[in-house]
Chains A and B, each alone.
Chain A
Amino acid sequence: MTDQTSPTTLTTTFAGTRGPLFRKALWGSIWTILTLGFYRFWLKTRLRRWYWSAIRPGGTPLEYVGDPLEKLLGFFLAVVVLAFYIGVVNLILMFVSLSLLASNVTAYIVSFVGVIPIWFYARYRARRYTLARSRWRGVRFGLKPGAWGYAARALWHWALTILSLGVLWPRKTFYLEKYKTDRTVFGSATLHQGGRWQMLMPAYAHILISAVILAATTYQVVMGQVQVAYLYALGVPWFVYGLIHYSVEATRLLANHKTAGDIALRADPRPATLTRIYVFGYLATGLISLLPVAPILMVVGMVENQRWRATYDITLEPGLIYGLPLYVWTGLGVAAYFLVFLLWATLRHCFVTMPVWRHYAETLTIENAPALANVSQKQRDEFAEAEGFAEALDLWGAI
């Protein structure tokens, strides 16, 4: 009874609903505030476990086995390295810059430029950690080492993109994705990114055309032709749509050219659906997050009014009036800041992140699934630093 007749194509289901996610994200965010940010390692782990377990290709869920403590450890490690960089390396840069050029601007530029490769390095390392802690059907994913190679290529492709005024962006997308995909493994199977970068160009057309419109309009406005400014109403939404369209289409095309031996992926996300999710999701998140500010503004208005009266009404005790506003102001400011942060962080998961993941998951199928029988387990990737650098450099806001 070892084998069952497997279907050739595995469709993916998404089993998550907003209610449990809302509770998880809300409590986690509250704890994050109460622990001065340290709970975020636990929050991130728990949310990943939840998201991973919701995604079920062929009915069997993904599993996230990352540990919050190893994230904390990796963060410590990264902070030490960055403290050295910020303290000692910058001090030397500053001294050299001041001594040779009588200016500290150079030091700031060099120091900032110096962080950029670390930033790409951190992204790759974080991806490696996340994949190493992801499993499906009990088999580990993984990413082969190569963070500095990734950083070097990322710098090169970014330089080309900037020099070509953004036209070669799809080339960068393709080659960086290929670098990562070709090093991604699922058990004994290695993924392969097929296709060519030119296949992404049609998806890039929206961005190119709207960017040309925006540039031409801006040029005209700067030259004094202010009446053409109405073209912004066309160009800006088009450009925003172009960004979403490109990211969705590029993901789809790249996924459709990913293979692992005989196994192939087929993705069919729809740009229109995702645009709707992003627009309404962020709208809902933003509006609800700002709700608690309304009563606070009212209270602030009252206090303001009281202060105003106090300046003219001598019968009021000055100690009372002067003593009150400082606490009230500070208290209200802190409360408003954290409430907005709390609601934003929580609701974004419910209205944006989760629906986006659900759409990507539900439109993903795995072709030629019987070949999965040939995939076997890989060794555990210990990876003590986890995603500490990405965490310390604050690379990933969402998850």
Chain B
Amino acid sequence: MTDRTIITVDGPASPAAPPRRVTGRALFFDGDTAQPVPVAIGYSDADQTLTFAHRGEGYRWPYADLRALRDQAGDQMVLRLRGDPTMRLLIDTEDDRALIRARAKRLGRFVSHVRRGKLAAWGLAAVASIALIIFVLVPVMADQLADYLPPEGEKALGDATFEQIRTALDDTGIAGLQTCENPTGLAALRKIETRLTDQMDLAAPLTVHVLDHPMINAFALPGGYVVFFRGLIEEAGTPEEIAAVFAHEIGHVVARDPTRIALRSAGSIGVLGLLLGDFAGGALVLFLAEQIIRADYTQEAEAAADTFAYNALLNADLPPSAIATLFERLTDDTHHEASAGILDHLASHPAMGDRIAAARAAEPSGATFRPLLTDTEWVALQAICD
């Protein structure tokens, strides 16, 4: 069946000679029936078309409109006609393939029926919808729902979030990040807590932890969690500075600020991990955990927590200016290397100067305060992770 013939019809071939016609063989698929039809193809160079006949009908495919299917295995060539979706010509001899390649110069042109405009529109719509969901819909819903969450639910959310943060911050990948459990240190911390909360009317008791991590930070979680990092305990100059941060975080707890933030990510965190698998999922969980710790509350929420802290400190006979002295040390002390690659939330806060001034202003001039911890207790607190 490979008996293909080249017939010179219009005289001898020479560069100046008039166009000649050669014929070859191909299998034609008419795009309607599932039956291959062997056809004789003619190369009509005069009008630059490929010609063949089927069922008494003549087909004329201009060379310029011939397209070859891409990424074909083996050495076959399958031709299609630009603008026609289904008709195909299968060229299975190398001679014919060479003849066609020499004539049809646009074989490799891309054929796509997808309109670029439509694609761009959908792409934009997708990005816009996702942004809308993540930055508007979910935060608004979380803020609304947070107010209706019962205390037990808030506690459960806090427990789960605390565990996720411990897991995310752990470098070993075996157990979660350790909490510091030195008994005398815990007793000192407990003393600060009692001094602050004695005057308060809290809905639920606080759960206070110190995490063994060098970050200079503290954060609050739903359900009365107040969590310090070892870095902050070690960086503080006086027990009053710890008390000041403590009071600020209690302010967030009372205002349920962390509940809003945690609820936003709680819905996504586990399922995303499941969907994306360990590699991407793990990185995402770490990212979300960091978001909770960094807790980008609104300016109003921060200001409210500060005001709460000034009052709580004054009620407990403690100096609000301790916030100022801590912040001043952090801003001066930019060379400390303890942050372990994570930006210190407290130190990087933009309105730091304002907050220092506000803390000083909150303290009545000439006021005297009752001491908080003995020297022994303060040493024990600073060594809480040893």
Q: Which residues of A contact B (CB under 8 A)?
A: 1-4, 6, 15-17, 20-21, 24, 46-47, 49-51, 53-54, 58, 60-61, 63, 67, 69-70, 72-73, 76-77, 79-80, 82-84, 86-88, 90-95, 98-99, 102-104, 107-108, 111-112, 115, 135-140, 186-187, 372-373, 375-377, 380, 393-394
Given contacts A69-B119, A102-B152, A138-B88, contact A108 B38 (CB under 8 A): no
Distance (whole angstroms) from the CB of B153 to the closest CB of chain A: 4
Q: Which of A1, A15, A20, A83 contacts B76 (CB 8 A)?
A: A15
Q: Which of B39, B116, B156, B271 contacts A112 (CB 8 A)?
A: B271
Give the CA-CA distance A54 to B38 in the complex, in Å.
21
Nearest CB in chain A to that of B138: its residue = A87
Interface of A is mostly: helix
Give the CA-CA distance A76 to B128 in the complex, in Å.
11
Q: Which of B27, B38, B138 contacts A1 (CB 8 A)?
A: B38
List the B side residues contacting A49 at CB < 8 Å.
69-72
Nearest CB in chain B to that of A100: its residue = B153
> Do the beta carbons of A80 and B130 come within 8 Å of each other?
yes
List the A side residues contacting B155 at CB < 8 Å.
102
| Binary contact readout B30-47 vs A (1 if CB under 8 angstroms, 0 otherwise) | 111111111100000000
List the B side residues contacting A77 at CB < 8 Å.
122, 126
Q: Which of A58, A72, A87 contacts B119 (CB 8 A)?
A: A72
Query: B335 interface residue, CB < 8 Å from A?
Result: no
> Do the beta carbons of B33 and A61 come within 8 Å of each other?
no
> Do the beta carbons of B271 and A15 come within 8 Å of each other?
no
> Do the beta carbons of B126 and A76 come within 8 Å of each other?
yes
Query: B178 interface residue, CB < 8 Å from A?
Result: no
List the A side residues contacting B39 at CB < 8 Å.
1
Give the CA-CA distance A91 to B264 in the complex, in Å.
7
Give the CA-CA distance A269 to B122 in the complex, in Å.
43
> Do the beta carbons of B74 and A73 come within 8 Å of each other?
no
Query: B160 interface residue, CB < 8 Å from A?
Result: yes
27 contacts between A and B (CB under 8 A): A2-B37, A16-B73, A51-B73, A53-B76, A53-B78, A54-B74, A58-B36, A61-B76, A80-B129, A82-B275, A88-B133, A90-B271, A91-B141, A91-B267, A92-B141, A92-B267, A94-B266, A95-B145, A98-B154, A98-B156, A104-B270, A111-B271, A115-B271, A115-B275, A138-B31, A139-B33, A373-B33
Give the CA-CA distance A1 to B152 in the complex, in Å.
84
> Do the beta carbons of A98 and B27 come within 8 Å of each other?
no
Q: Of B35, B86, B88, which is in contact with the most chain A CB atoms at under 10 Å from its CB?
A: B35
Give the CA-CA distance A130 to B241 in the complex, in Å.
65
Nearest CB in chain A to that of B153: its residue = A98
> Do the beta carbons of B33 and A63 come within 8 Å of each other?
no
Distance (whole angstroms) from the CB of B70 to the closest CB of chain A: 6
Q: Which of B31, B130, B150, B154 contacts A79 (CB 8 A)?
A: B130
Q: Which of B30, B148, B267, B275 contacts A99 (CB 8 A)?
A: B148
Distance (whole angstroms) from the CB of B99 to the closest CB of chain A: 21
Q: Of A1, A3, A47, which is in contact with the most chain B CB atoms at under 10 Å from its CB?
A: A1
Give the CA-CA distance A140 to B32 in the complex, in Å.
9
List the A side residues contacting B33 at CB < 8 Å.
139, 373, 375-377
> Do the beta carbons of A67 and B113 come within 8 Å of each other?
yes
Query: B123 interface residue, CB < 8 Å from A?
Result: yes
Query: B29 interface residue, CB < 8 Å from A?
Result: yes
Instruction: Name the interface size band of chain B.
Output: 35 or more
Given contacts A2-B55, A99-B148, contact A372 B35 (CB under 8 A): yes
> Do the beta carbons of A53 and B268 come within 8 Å of each other?
no
With contacts defined as CB atoms under 8 Å apart, how many contacts are there between chain A and chain B in the complex? Answer: 197
Give the CA-CA distance A102 to B156 in the complex, in Å.
6
List the A side residues contacting B34 at CB < 8 Å.
136-139, 186-187, 372-373, 375-376
List the B side residues contacting A3 at CB < 8 Å.
35, 37
Query: B87 interface residue, CB < 8 Å from A?
Result: yes
Given contacts A67-B112, A377-B32, contact A83 B130 (CB under 8 A): yes
Nearest CB in chain A to that of B141: its residue = A91
Give the CA-CA distance A61 to B75 in the complex, in Å.
12
Query: B54 interface residue, CB < 8 Å from A?
Result: yes
> Do the beta carbons of B69 and A393 come within 8 Å of each other?
no
Q: Which of B36, B125, B266 contacts A104 (CB 8 A)?
A: B266
List the A side residues contacting B137 at CB < 8 Å.
87-88
Q: Which of A53, A58, A86, A87 contacts B71 (CB 8 A)?
A: A53
Q: Which of A4, A107, A375 contacts B38 (CB 8 A)?
A: A4
> Do the beta carbons of A61 and B119 come within 8 Å of each other?
no
> Do the beta carbons of A63 and B126 come within 8 Å of each other?
no
Distance (whole angstroms) from the CB of B158 to the closest CB of chain A: 10
Give the CA-CA distance A60 to B90 in the complex, in Å.
8
List the A side residues contacting B90 at CB < 8 Å.
60-61
List 3 tightest A-B contacts by C-beta distance, closest first: A138-B29, A15-B74, A54-B73
Distance (whole angstroms) from the CB of B159 to the closest CB of chain A: 9
Give the CA-CA distance A139 to B32 in the complex, in Å.
7
List the A side residues contacting B71 at CB < 8 Å.
24, 46-47, 49-50, 53
Give the CA-CA distance A233 to B129 in the complex, in Å.
53
Nearest CB in chain B to that of A186: its residue = B34
Q: A63-B69, A69-B119 are in contact. List 19 more A-B contacts (CB 8 A).
A: A2-B37, A3-B35, A46-B70, A53-B72, A61-B78, A72-B119, A79-B126, A80-B126, A86-B268, A87-B134, A92-B141, A98-B153, A99-B150, A102-B150, A103-B156, A138-B30, A186-B34, A375-B33, A377-B33
Query: B358 interface residue, CB < 8 Å from A?
Result: no
Query: B142 interface residue, CB < 8 Å from A?
Result: yes
List the B side residues contacting A83 at CB < 8 Å.
129-130, 133-134
Distance (whole angstroms) from the CB of A341 to the closest CB of chain B: 10
> Do the beta carbons of B141 and A88 come within 8 Å of each other?
yes
Nearest CB in chain A to that of B85: its residue = A380
List the B side residues contacting A67 at CB < 8 Å.
112-114
Nearest CB in chain B to that of A380: its residue = B85
Give the CA-CA distance A82 to B272 in the complex, in Å.
10
Q: Which of B37, B125, B156, B267 contacts A86 (CB 8 A)?
A: B267
Give the CA-CA distance A233 to B113 in the complex, in Å.
55
Distance (whole angstroms) from the CB of B284 to the closest CB of chain A: 11
List the A side residues contacting B27 at CB < 8 Å.
60
Distance (whole angstroms) from the CB of A194 to the closest CB of chain B: 21
Query: B149 interface residue, CB < 8 Å from A?
Result: yes
Nearest CB in chain B to that of A386: its residue = B114
List the B side residues contacting A115 at CB < 8 Å.
271, 274-275
List the A side residues contacting B270 at CB < 8 Å.
104, 108, 111
Q: Which of B29, B32, B54 contacts A2 (CB 8 A)?
A: B54
Give the CA-CA distance A46 to B145 in the complex, in Å.
48
> Do the beta carbons of B76 and A90 come within 8 Å of each other?
no
Give the CA-CA distance A3 to B274 in the complex, in Å.
57
| Binary contact readout B258-295 vs A (1 if CB under 8 angstroms, 0 otherwise) | 00000110111011101101000000000000000000
Query: B157 interface residue, CB < 8 Å from A?
Result: yes
Distance (whole angstroms) from the CB of A198 to the closest CB of chain B: 34
Give the CA-CA distance A103 to B148 in the complex, in Å.
15
